[in-house]
Chains A and B, each alone.
Chain A
Amino acid sequence: MKFYQLNTIYNTNLLNFFFVCITSLIFLKKYSLAEDLISGYHFSEPSTQKIQDDDFLNPGFIWVENGELLWNKKEQSSQLSCKSCHGAASEMKGVALKYPKITKKGDLINLEQQINICRNENMSAETYEPESKNLLALSVLLYYQSRGLKQDIKINEKNKEYFNLGKKLYFKKIGQMGLSCNQCHDDRVGQNLRAEKVSQGHINGFPSYLLRWSKIASVHKRIQFCNEQARAIPFKIFSKEYNALQLYMTWRGRGLKIETPAVRK
């Protein structure tokens, strides 16, 4: 009888111990969520994830294929194509990871601006307008080559000034709502924002196919949309502020794999 009683006490203690362990694990998991890097893929709905998994279903690949046609197309003015200098598009693996980048003049530019500079100076062709289909097709093609590689951008003395500006903008409260980026994408990760889950705001899938506009959108366009939601006046695309913010955000998501062309809501 004594032995039996002892045994029961031992059992309840053990159960308590496990209960405490499990609850503390759940607690830790919930509150350390903002510290781990989670791609926006895991916050989207299963039906959206299904579109991204299948390369045939994914409409972003229309842009990839059209980008390949543009890559090999010769310009009439100079009889040069992108291929004649850089080789095949598959050789550009890992190039997109270096952007946003500092030029010789000291400005910060992103990949789309670099395409326009290359067209203007080397090919003597007309530049594409921001958010135009041709520009995004080339941009998606280049980001697609480094799909699966990890985001890895280095902060050095050259771009530190822009990095600090981007960090300042990330924590700055803007608009009628008085919201800053970190209030949603750091503090309220995983909570509901109307019908959507708040993601961590990583840009590893961009330029990505947005179902709401049914077309590819660049990082700058998406941040503009985010600013409009907070009732703030957005900056212009390719502005110094957005490039700095893009630099900070790529640094923030270092270690995440590139998913371009991703599918988001």
Chain B
Amino acid sequence: MFLKMEKLRRLKYKKIVKVGENVKIKTLAEHEMETGVRRDNITGVIYPRLIIQSVIAKYNGKIVFKANWFSGVSANPYLAFYITAKESGLIEIEWKDDHATTSYKRGYLKVINEKGNEVLPVKYDL
């Protein structure tokens, strides 16, 4: 009823970093996180549980962080973690619901070495 489009997902980090730097990756998901314990005031019917079960973070296709959540997590959950930058690449975050519906957010991380050149994940020779 609120809005027919997808619910809001946020991802934020430092876009250009040096090799070996620790990057803080911040995420925020808009979600009600219904615990399955609350009752409706008038009818007394229990609201069914609906929470985000797991959050998976991938860096260049490899899983670097995973969290399993239960009904104690607050609404609109915020999550932050660190990764070590080795090469530039894709950062993907995946939120998985109780209904097994997933939502994604992705971004590009640029990593530079001491000379100022970009460190690419694929090596090539000319």
Measured CB to CB, the residues of A under 8 A from B are 56-57, 59, 62, 65-66, 69-70, 133-134, 214-215
A57–B78 alpha-carbon span in the complex (Å): 7
> Is there contact, CB below 8 Å, between A62 and B30?
yes
Q: Mark B72-102, 1 if CB is under 8 A from A, else 0.
A: 0011101000000000000000000000000
A70–B1 alpha-carbon span in the complex (Å): 13
> Is there contact, CB below 8 Å, between B3 and A59?
no
> Is there contact, CB below 8 Å, between A57 and B28?
yes
Which single member of A56, A62, A65, A69 contacts B12 (CB below 8 Å)?
A56
Given A56-B10, A65-B8, A66-B8, do A214 and B75 touch, yes or no (CB 8 Å)?
yes
> Is there contact, CB below 8 Å, between B5 and A215?
no
Contacts of B30 in A (CB 8 A): 59, 62
> Is there contact, CB below 8 Å, between B8 and A214?
no
Distance between B80 CB and nearest chain A CB, rounded to angstroms: 9
Contacts of A57 in B (CB 8 A): 26, 28, 78
A215–B32 alpha-carbon span in the complex (Å): 9
21 contacts between A and B (CB under 8 A): A56-B10, A56-B12, A56-B28, A59-B30, A59-B75, A59-B76, A62-B8, A62-B28, A62-B30, A62-B76, A66-B2, A66-B3, A66-B8, A69-B3, A133-B2, A134-B2, A134-B3, A214-B33, A214-B74, A214-B75, A214-B76
